[in-house]
Chain A
């Protein structure tokens, strides 16, 4: 009876563990709150989601941090592809941080959204997420304060979740009547099937409304569903109600309720044990054998199974089948002996450090059932009881932290090597480019000045041609030969008129004719030459465009060449120092966390061993007693014959 009280107390009165959260909010490995946008416009955001959907929280946060950092550094962020998903990205990074158990950082980005210039539905959704983070961080007052800030329109997709969260927050804050009122409204919500009813039952129980509370727990325990999570809450509800009825000596009622728990569910063992005790309490020892016989076939490390291994022979003894009772006490003693040895080996192995080594085996992480598989490895006694240890929230969180630290350690080792590789690359690039660049730069300066000269000339030509559109200047289009002829003619004229003597008329005429021929050609061919000049200019412009592209390309490549090996030394030096410091810190934290895990494991296994040793003592007494009774019964039988 005392045991039942204690068990019931642990189920009912633990502050946050009893009220059931929905799988979507509780299971951090099932990121139901972050989904892919309908139309993905930023592939790097999609990449962050790719990591998140696999539970690779570090990589997803790192990716998203990089993208958000770049986004917020832009002058015109509205032109960036992440702009379309920015709110979702800010929400997502908070979700990812929470899933990665970075509670102190989670909510930072969401707070930024709340305090920014956003629409009311977006703000309300952000507040909802923040409230959920506070709730999951076990800060019910902050969660209540947050949820009370929600005003106005709430997006439809989160309305039910928000209502349920509000009820959970009220429950956690001791406002049971309000929680019950809200949960009543959610009874018909399909997505919360089972959870709303169960929590309503708990809220009513805590509010002192015993009958109503039990009614809802009973209703939860009879839900018809195929959903694994609903079936789990159904089992839990039946278990809680069943043990409550046992405590009130309502054994028949308890039996009926406990027998509803699935044989294959996580609560099955305790339900079978309780069902047997319900029968025993009504002195129906033969019927108690039914659930207990199923139970003793199961994993012997489970405490309910161990208890059943003594309870079954107890029932046989009550049925006066003492020989069978003696045999079963003997089997129980053997099993307990083996378990005590296993526990001893486990404790020894854990103290030798092999527990932690087994946990970080890489190949195990690829399998979702790695905890179960680890338990079954014959050469690792240190992990036989891992599943049982994982039932403790503190142990589970500590184990996850340890595995996270191991992941960080490996990354830091790889990054330190990467920095060495980067330095080698930079050294090779420097060795390659350094001798070449001075000559290249010299040649470039030479060509650059030539190019500038030619471009200036081209510009002048273009200007002249433009000017000639309104003020024709045929002389500008004279050929080189014509210019030479013109200068020769001028030179002759100068020579003729220089002495002051009279110029013979026929010479003058000849000179005039020559000039006339020259001008005739220039003036009559002007239009054609003008057209030709424009055509040539256009062709020149095409070549100049190509030249400019090559020039730009060269400048870019030249810049890239220098940037390929310059400007990295400080960054690499700083990163190296940071990585070294982080490695030391991680090593220290791993040692402390590992020690804590080992201590928790050893404490738990020691408790179990002591419990089993006590069971052994009692089983020996009971065995002797059963053997004695069986012998006496046999003797009486012989005498009567």
Chain B
């Protein structure tokens, strides 16, 4: 009886694996055909995205007044960055809380554009505040202030965190 049970188990499994019973099958051709159309729409939407980026930049951030602030971590930096706040001319303009994925991306060398805005030409006070945790587990908060000069043309500044020190690079 038990041997026959074993054989039946095997036979049933075999049957079910080789002759599936279902009302409607999905064929490889259907999957491939749909996949092709999805790739086409992705291309179309990417085209829309690129043109919208250009439109947005031209409309909202004309080059004469544009300022962009980037944040990066120094190579090999092990600090856990929790949040960054940017103040421009004494007013908070950007605040970001980091997810684990974002932190990992920064540690791999990615650069985050944390703020894009408009300022007049001339001198401006720029303050950055970082909150995080060191590799040893100690919490830290670091604030640095800088002066940036806006000329004609887009202004790009990058803050880099290295060993709990913030450096500013004017691009």
Query: Which A residues form the contact surface with B (CB < 8 A)?
Result: 1-3, 6, 35-36, 40, 43-44, 46-47, 49-55, 58, 61-63, 65-66, 69, 81, 100-105, 280, 307, 310-311, 314, 317-318, 366, 394, 397-398, 401, 404-405, 408, 411-412, 415, 418, 422, 425-426, 553, 556-557, 560, 563-564, 568, 571-572, 575, 578-579, 582, 585-586, 589, 592-593, 596, 599-600, 602-603, 606-607, 610-611, 614-615, 618, 621-622, 625
> Across the interface, do B45 and A47 meet the contact criterion of CB distance under 8 Å?
no
Q: List B83-139 residues whose CB lies under 8 Å from chain A.
A: 99, 101-102, 104-106, 108-113, 121
Contacts of B70 in A (CB 8 A): 43, 46-47
Contacts of A585 in B (CB 8 A): 41, 44
> Across the interface, do B109 and A36 meet the contact criterion of CB distance under 8 Å?
yes
What residue in chain B is nearest A52 (Cβ atoms)? B110
User: Among B5, B9, B42, B52, which residue has the most Cβ atoms of chain A within 10 A?
Assistant: B42
Q: A564 CA to B106 CA in the complex, in Å?
A: 35
What residue in chain B is nearest A63 (Cβ atoms)? B53
| A-B residue pairs, 5 tightest by C-beta | A36-B109, A50-B110, A46-B111, A53-B105, A603-B22
Known: A54-B102, A426-B59. A575 touches B52 (CB 8 A): yes
> Across the interface, do B10 and A43 meet the contact criterion of CB distance under 8 Å?
no
> Across the interface, do B37 and A589 meet the contact criterion of CB distance under 8 Å?
yes
> Across the interface, do B49 and A593 meet the contact criterion of CB distance under 8 Å?
no
> Across the interface, do B39 and A102 meet the contact criterion of CB distance under 8 Å?
yes
Q: A434 CA to B148 CA in the complex, in Å?
A: 33
> Across the interface, do B9 and A404 meet the contact criterion of CB distance under 8 Å?
no
Query: Could you tell me the distance in whole angstroms from the C-beta of A616 to the nearest C-beta in chain B?
Result: 11
Contacts of B104 in A (CB 8 A): 53-54
Query: Could you tell me the distance in whole angstroms from the C-beta of A13 to the nearest C-beta in chain B?
Result: 14
Cross-chain contact of B38 among A556, A589, A606, A621 (Cβ < 8 A): A589
Q: List 20 A-B contacts (CB under 8 A).
A: A6-B14, A35-B109, A47-B112, A51-B110, A52-B110, A53-B105, A54-B104, A105-B39, A105-B43, A307-B13, A314-B5, A397-B35, A411-B45, A422-B55, A422-B56, A425-B59, A596-B26, A599-B26, A603-B22, A607-B22
Cross-chain contact of B50 among A66, A397, A606 (Cβ < 8 A): A66
Cross-chain contact of B34 among A104, A401, A557 (Cβ < 8 A): A401
What residue in chain B is nearest A563 (Cβ atoms)? B62
Q: A421 CA to B46 CA in the complex, in Å?
A: 21
Known: A47-B110, A408-B42. A418 touches B12 (CB 8 A): no
Q: A58 CA to B37 CA in the complex, in Å?
A: 17
Cross-chain contact of B112 among A35, A50, A557, A582 (Cβ < 8 A): A50
> Across the interface, do B1 and A599 meet the contact criterion of CB distance under 8 Å?
no
Q: A63 CA to B57 CA in the complex, in Å?
A: 13
Cross-chain contact of B49 among A40, A49, A411, A425 (Cβ < 8 A): A411
> Across the interface, do A2 and B11 meet the contact criterion of CB distance under 8 Å?
yes
Q: A53 CA to B55 CA in the complex, in Å?
A: 26
What residue in chain A is nearest B171 (Cβ atoms)? A43
Q: A578 CA to B46 CA in the complex, in Å?
A: 11
Q: List B1-31 residues whose CB lies under 8 Å from chain A.
A: 1-2, 5-6, 8-14, 16-18, 20-26, 28, 30-31
Contacts of A582 in B (CB 8 A): 41, 44-45, 48
Besides the contacts A3-B14, A53-B105, A394-B28, what 15 more A-B pairs have beta carbons closer than 8 Å? A6-B14, A49-B105, A101-B35, A102-B39, A307-B13, A314-B5, A318-B2, A411-B49, A412-B48, A425-B59, A560-B64, A600-B26, A603-B24, A603-B26, A618-B9
Contacts of A103 in B (CB 8 A): 39
Q: A40 CA to B112 CA in the complex, in Å?
A: 13
Query: Could you tell me the distance in whole angstroms from the C-beta of B43 to the nearest C-beta in chain A?
Result: 6
> Across the interface, do A50 and B22 meet the contact criterion of CB distance under 8 Å?
no
> Across the interface, do B24 and A575 meet the contact criterion of CB distance under 8 Å?
no
Query: Could you tell me the distance in whole angstroms from the C-beta of B12 to the nearest C-beta in chain A?
Result: 5
Contacts of A401 in B (CB 8 A): 34-35, 38
Contacts of B43 in A (CB 8 A): 102, 105
Contacts of B23 in A (CB 8 A): 603
Contacts of B102 in A (CB 8 A): 50, 54
Contacts of A6 in B (CB 8 A): 14, 17-18
What residue in chain B is nearest A104 (Cβ atoms)? B39
Interface residues of chain B: helix, strand, loop or mixed (majority): helix
Contacts of A317 in B (CB 8 A): 2
> Across the interface, do B42 and A404 meet the contact criterion of CB distance under 8 Å?
yes
Cross-chain contact of A50 among B1, B13, B46, B106 (Cβ < 8 A): B106
Contacts of B36 in A (CB 8 A): 104
Cross-chain contact of B48 among A61, A564, A579, A606 (Cβ < 8 A): A579
> Across the interface, do A418 and B48 meet the contact criterion of CB distance under 8 Å?
no
Cross-chain contact of B110 among A53, A412, A575, A596 (Cβ < 8 A): A53
Contacts of B113 in A (CB 8 A): 43-44, 47
Contacts of B105 in A (CB 8 A): 49-54
User: Among B35, B44, B48, which residue has the most Cβ atoms of chain A within 10 A?
Assistant: B48
Contacts of A40 in B (CB 8 A): 72, 109, 111
User: Among B49, B65, B102, which residue has the most Cβ atoms of chain A within 10 A?
Assistant: B49
Q: A606 CA to B21 CA in the complex, in Å?
A: 8
Q: Is B156 an interface residue (CB 8 A)?
A: yes
Q: Is B144 an interface residue (CB 8 A)?
A: no
> Across the interface, do B111 and A54 meet the contact criterion of CB distance under 8 Å?
no
Query: Could you tell me the distance in whole angstroms from the C-beta of B104 to the nearest C-beta in chain A?
Result: 7
> Across the interface, do B112 and A586 meet the contact criterion of CB distance under 8 Å?
no
What residue in chain A is nearest B70 (Cβ atoms)? A43
Contacts of B121 in A (CB 8 A): 553
Contacts of A426 in B (CB 8 A): 59
> Across the interface, do B52 and A415 meet the contact criterion of CB distance under 8 Å?
yes
> Across the interface, do B34 and A596 meet the contact criterion of CB distance under 8 Å?
yes
Contacts of B47 in A (CB 8 A): 578
Query: Could you tell me the distance in whole angstroms from the C-beta of A172 to the nearest C-beta in chain B?
Result: 17
Q: List B62-89 residues whose CB lies under 8 Å from chain A.
A: 62, 64-65, 68, 70, 72
Cross-chain contact of A66 among B35, B54, B152 (Cβ < 8 A): B54
Query: Could you tell me the distance in whole angstroms from the C-beta of A491 to the nearest C-beta in chain B?
Result: 55
Q: A415 CA to B46 CA in the complex, in Å?
A: 12
> Across the interface, do B48 and A589 meet the contact criterion of CB distance under 8 Å?
no
Q: A271 CA to B112 CA in the complex, in Å?
A: 46
What residue in chain B is nearest A628 (Cβ atoms)? B1
Q: A553 CA to B152 CA in the complex, in Å?
A: 9
Query: Could you tell me the distance in whole angstroms from the C-beta of A425 to the nearest C-beta in chain B?
Result: 7
Query: Could you tell me the distance in whole angstroms from the C-beta of B108 to the nearest C-beta in chain A?
Result: 5
Contacts of B55 in A (CB 8 A): 422, 568, 571-572, 575
Contacts of A318 in B (CB 8 A): 2
Contacts of A411 in B (CB 8 A): 45, 49
> Across the interface, do B152 and A556 meet the contact criterion of CB distance under 8 Å?
yes
User: Among A49, A69, A408, A625, which residue has the most Cβ atoms of chain B within 10 A?
Assistant: A408
> Across the interface, do A614 and B41 meet the contact criterion of CB distance under 8 Å?
no
Q: A105 CA to B59 CA in the complex, in Å?
A: 30
> Across the interface, do B21 and A607 meet the contact criterion of CB distance under 8 Å?
yes
Q: A318 CA to B6 CA in the complex, in Å?
A: 11
Q: A586 CA to B22 CA in the complex, in Å?
A: 28
Contacts of A397 in B (CB 8 A): 31, 35
User: Among B21, B52, B104, which residue has the most Cβ atoms of chain A within 10 A?
Assistant: B52
